[in-house]
Chain A
Amino acid sequence: MDLVTLWFWLIALTFTLYFFLEGFDFGVDMLRPFLARSEAEERALVGTIGPFWDGNEVWAIAAAGVMFSTFPVWYGTLFSGLYPVFVIILLSLLMRGVSFEYRNQVDQPRWRAFWDWMSFFGSLTPSFFWGLTMAKLIEGLPVNADERVLGGFSDVFTPFSVAGGLATTLLFILHGANFLLLRLHKDTRLYTRARAAALLWGALATGAILLFVVMGYVTEGLFNSFGVLPWLFPVAAGLTLGSIWYGLTRRLDVFAFLMSSLTIVFSTVTIFIALYTRGVVLPSTLDPQYSLGLRESASQPYTLTLMTWVGGIFLPLIIGYQIWNYYVFRERVRPDEGGLDKGYD
Chain B
Amino acid sequence: MDLDVLGLSRFQFASTSIFHFFFVSLTVGLAFLIAVMETVAFVRKDRAHIYANMTNFFGHLFLINFAVGVVTGIVQEFQFGMNWSQYSKFVGNIFGVPLALEVLMAFFLESTFIALWWFGKDRLKPAVRLASIWLVAVGTQISAFWIVLANGWMHHPVGYEVVGDQAFLTDFAAVVFNYKAVLYFLHVQGSAWSVAAFLVLGVSAYHLLRKQSVEVFSRSLRIGIIFAVVGSVFSATSGHRAAQVARYDQPMKFAAMEAQWETSTSPAPWSAVALINEREQRNDFNVEIPYLGSILAYNRPVGNYEGIIPLQERYERLYGPGNYVPPVTWVYWNFRIMVGIGMVMLLAAFGGAYLWWRRRAGLDDTRWYLRLLLFTIPLPWIANFCGWITTEMGRQPFMVYGLLTTTEGVSANSYTEVFVGLVGLWIVYLALIGLDIYLLAVTARAGVHHKPEVQLLAAPAPNYAGEGFQEYERRN
| Chain A residues in the interface with B (C-beta under 8 A) | 43-44, 46-47, 50-52, 54-55, 57-58, 60-62, 64-66, 68-73, 75-80, 83-84, 86-87, 90-91, 93-98, 100-107, 112, 146-148, 152-153, 299-300, 302-303, 306-307, 310-311, 314-315, 318, 321-322, 325, 328-329, 338-341
Contacts and interface: CB of A to CB of B under 8 A. Distances in A.
A314 B104 contact: yes
A61 B116 contact: no
B260 to A, nearest CB: 38
Interface stretch (B80-88, B248-256, B337-345): B80-88
A322 B435 contact: no
Contacts of B453: 107
A61 B103 contact: yes
Nearest to B170: A302
B461 A83 contact: no
A57 B72 CA distance: 13
Interface string B85-116: 11111011111110111111101110111111
A307 to B, nearest CB: 7
Contacts of A73: 89, 92
A103 B108 contact: no
24 contacts: A47-B458, A50-B457, A50-B458, A54-B70, A55-B115, A57-B74, A61-B73, A68-B100, A75-B92, A79-B80, A80-B82, A80-B85, A97-B74, A98-B71, A101-B460, A104-B458, A106-B454, A107-B454, A112-B454, A300-B93, A300-B168, A302-B170, A310-B104, A339-B458
B439 interface: yes
B392 interface: no
Given A65-B104, A76-B92, 12 more contacts: A50-B457, A68-B95, A68-B96, A72-B92, A76-B84, A80-B83, A83-B421, A102-B64, A107-B453, A311-B104, A321-B112, A340-B461
For the complex of A and B, 10 pairs with smallest distance between CB atoms: A72-B92, A79-B81, A69-B96, A339-B457, A76-B85, A97-B71, A80-B85, A68-B96, A46-B458, A76-B88
Interface stretch (B33-41, B46-54, B117-125): B117-125
B417 A83 contact: yes
B172 interface: yes
A66 B108 CA distance: 14
Contact of A46 (B108, B122, B457): B457
Contacts of A54: 70, 111-112, 114-115
Contact of A79 (B74, B82, B123): B82
Contact of B456 (A106, A153, A341): A341
B417 A84 contact: yes
Contacts of A83: 82, 411, 413, 417-418, 421
Given A65-B102, A91-B425, A95-B428, A306 B89 contact: no
B75 interface: yes
A149 to B, nearest CB: 8
Interface string B412-441: 111011101100110010001001000100
Contacts of B122: 341
Contact of A68 (B75, B83, B99, B432): B99
B19 to A, nearest CB: 10
B454 A60 contact: no
Contacts of A78: 81
A95 B74 CA distance: 12
A58 B71 CA distance: 10
B443 interface: yes
Nearest to B435: A102
A298 to B, nearest CB: 9
Contact of A318 (B72, B108, B124): B108
A91 B424 contact: yes
Contacts of B411: 76, 80, 83
Size bracket, chain B contacts: 35 or more
Nearest to B86: A76
Interface of B: 63-64, 66-68, 70-75, 77-78, 80-89, 91-97, 99-105, 107-109, 111-116, 119-120, 122-124, 166, 168-170, 172, 411-414, 416-418, 420-421, 424-425, 428, 432, 435, 439, 442-443, 452-461, 463, 468
Contacts, number: 270
Contacts of B63: 101
A310 B85 contact: no
B124 A328 contact: yes
Contacts of A101: 63-64, 66-67, 459-460
Contacts of A321: 108-109, 112-113
Nearest to A77: B85
Which residue, of B72, B77, B460, has the highest number of chain A Cβ atoms within 10 A?
A: B77
Given A103-B458, A322-B112, A340 B417 contact: no
Given A302-B170, A339-B458, A310 B101 contact: yes
A61 B81 contact: no
A104 B170 CA distance: 50
A93 to B, nearest CB: 6
B81 A329 contact: no
Contacts of B97: 69, 303, 306-307
Contacts of B442: 105-106
A76 B459 contact: no
Which residue, of B122, B414, B452, B454, has the highest number of chain A Cβ atoms within 10 A?
A: B454
Contact of B104 (A47, A62, A97): A62
Given A61-B107, A322-B108, A328-B123, A75 B88 contact: yes
A65 B150 CA distance: 13
Contact of B64 (A105, A303, A307): A105
Nearest to B431: A95
Nearest to A47: B457
A87 B78 CA distance: 9
Contacts of A315: 104
Given A91-B424, A102-B439, A306 B70 contact: no
A321 B113 CA distance: 9
A177 B85 CA distance: 38
B104 A72 contact: no
Contacts of A112: 454
A301 B418 CA distance: 34
Contact of A341 (B67, B99, B461): B461
A114 B144 CA distance: 33
Contacts of A61: 73-74, 77, 103, 107
B74 A105 contact: no
A22 to B, nearest CB: 12
Contacts of B421: 83-84, 87
Nearest to B92: A72
Nearest to A82: B82
A84 B454 CA distance: 37
Contacts of A69: 92-93, 96-97, 99-100
Nearest to B123: A328
A89 to B, nearest CB: 8
B78 A328 contact: no
Contact of A76 (B89, B112, B432): B89
B420 to A, nearest CB: 8
Contacts of A91: 424-425, 428
B96 A340 contact: no
B22 to A, nearest CB: 14
